[in-house]
A and B are shown apart, each in its own frame.
Chain A
Amino acid sequence: MNGKDRADSWPVSDVDHLLQEIDMPQLDYQEVAASQRLDSIRQRWPLLDEMLNNSKLNADNGDKA
């Protein structure tokens, strides 16, 4: 059994226990959808938004960006 298989076979609780043993901080993240991020960019920079609305790049497929 190689290292990866062994790691995959560990119960999750053991991994959590190991992380606690080595004092690893619990990492957390917040999932942000790309469309949400793009919307906020457009709100932040009016010129960028205006170009996206008026560009021929978006003429065929609507407002994608």
Chain B
Amino acid sequence: MNSLALYGLRGGAGVTSVVAALGYALHALGQRVLLVDLTGDAMLGLHFNCPVSSLCATDGEALWEIVPGLDVLILGSSPVASSEAKGRSLAEIIAGATAYYDQLLVDAGNAGRAKKLADGMSVGLRQIEVVPVDAAAHVRLYRDYRGQLLLVNNFAPESRLQNDLLMLWQHQPELNLLPVTLHQDEAWNEALACKQPLALARPQSQAAQEIASLAVWCMAQAER
């Protein structure tokens, strides 16, 4: 089983949307996928038409079977649920899920939680930091980078600054940039507004094509 924990370099980086879209794309490629929401606000289910009311009422754990082979697990939407408790729960879940899933995607929310999870896991959990292309991200990246994989998100090619930033990062060999860059695309917003994953709501969008490429990359990692 390929296990990935995604988190944002800062809030609003688009992690939950990427996890939802990537999970759906992997399922479309025939993978059995488990998505786990550790963020505490339980937004992940909204991308799969789960009702807002039921997500808000979820205090402990909730498992949603979206379609056979694609499940969404919400671990504690209550803000008082501690990260450590979630970490223990996730370790147990992963131990049991290995036989049932090909891909595990965790929406870890922030770097601290992702690191704690990875440290507490017996199986390898690769961490992917979702990075917006702006000056503040550049500062944080060059100040705090610790070798994690980087997924550039919401890239606007018409911006001179963003083009310059991306070129700098691509020429910094120490930064582990993923081979796929996700461009700014209104399809992301529209998909959430439709309560559907990206490839279902806007299958012809550039974003959907890029997520499909990322899904292929994930499958290649699983085969290594």
Residues on A close to B: CB < 8 A?
Answer: 34, 37-38, 41, 44-45, 47-48, 51-52, 54-57, 64-65
Picked from A37, A47, A56, the residue with its CB within 8 Å of the CB of B167 is: A37
If A37-B167, A41-B167 touch, whether A48 touches B172 (CB-CB below 8 Å) is no
If A47-B139, A48-B135, A51-B138 touch, whether A57 touches B174 (CB-CB below 8 Å) is yes
Picked from B143, B145, B167, the residue with its CB within 8 Å of the CB of A38 is: B167
Q: Is the CB–CB distance between A52 and B173 below 8 Å?
A: no
Give a binary string over B177-213; 1 marks a CB under 8 Å from any A CB, 0 the rest.
0000000000000000000000000000000000000
Residues on B close to A: CB < 8 A?
Answer: 135, 138-139, 142-143, 145, 161, 164-165, 167-168, 171-175
Q: Is the CB–CB distance between B167 and A57 below 8 Å?
A: no
For B135, the chain A residues whose CB sits under 8 A away are 45, 47-48
B146 to chain A, nearest CB (A): 10
Known: A45-B135, A48-B164. 6 other contacts (CB 8 A): A44-B164, A45-B161, A48-B135, A51-B139, A52-B142, A52-B168
Q: Chain A: interface secondary structure?
A: helix
A42 (CB) vs chain B CBs: closest residue: B168
B164 (CB) vs chain A CBs: closest residue: A41
Give the 3 A-B CB pairs with smallest separation, nearest first: A55-B142, A41-B164, A51-B142
For A51, the chain B residues whose CB sits under 8 A away are 138-139, 142-143
For A44, the chain B residues whose CB sits under 8 A away are 164
State the CA gap A64–B174 with chains docked (Å). Answer: 11
State the CA gap A57–B165 with chains docked (Å). Answer: 16
State the CA gap A45–B160 with chains docked (Å). Answer: 11
If A55-B142, A57-B142 touch, whether A38 touches B175 (CB-CB below 8 Å) is no
Q: Is the CB–CB distance between A64 and B172 below 8 Å?
A: yes
State the CA gap A64–B171 with chains docked (Å). Answer: 8
A49 (CB) vs chain B CBs: closest residue: B168
State the CA gap A55–B171 with chains docked (Å). Answer: 14
Q: Is the CB–CB distance between B168 and A48 below 8 Å?
A: yes
For B165, the chain A residues whose CB sits under 8 A away are 48
A56 to chain B, nearest CB (A): 8
Q: Is the CB–CB distance between B172 and A57 below 8 Å?
A: yes
List 15 contacting pairs A-B, 8 Å CB cutoff, sorted by A.
Answer: A37-B167, A41-B167, A45-B135, A47-B135, A51-B138, A51-B139, A51-B142, A51-B143, A54-B142, A55-B143, A57-B145, A57-B172, A64-B172, A65-B168, A65-B172
A55 (CB) vs chain B CBs: closest residue: B142
A38 (CB) vs chain B CBs: closest residue: B171
For A54, the chain B residues whose CB sits under 8 A away are 142
Q: Is the CB–CB distance between B173 and A64 below 8 Å?
A: yes
B145 (CB) vs chain A CBs: closest residue: A57
